[in-house]
Amino acid sequence: MVEEGSSVLVDVRKYDGRVSARWTAVRLGEDEHGVWLGTARGVPVSSSAGERPGRFAYVVLVPRRGWWTATFCAAPGPEVYCDVCTVPEWSADGTVVSMVDLDLDVVRPRGGEAHVEDEDQFAERRVRYGYPDGVVEAARQTCEWLMERVGPERGGAVEPFASTYRYWLGLVG
Closest of 80, 76, 77 to residue 159, by C-alpha = 80
The reported pLDDT for the residue numbered 156 is 72
For 77-96, what is each residue's pLDDT tens digit?
999 999 999 999 999 999 99
3-state helix, strand, coil in the chain (%, to 5): 20, 40, 40
Q: pTM to 2 decimals?
A: 0.94
Whole-angstrom CA distances from 4 to 8, 79, 92, 94 are: 10, 24, 16, 11
DSSP 169: H
For 145-169, what is each residue's pLDDT tens digit?
999 999 865 567 899 999 999 999 9
Q: Residue ranges of the domains in the chain?
A: 6-171
19 band by pLDDT with thresholds 50, 70 and 90: very high
**Domain 6-171 class in CATH:** mainly beta
43 band by pLDDT with thresholds 50, 70 and 90: very high
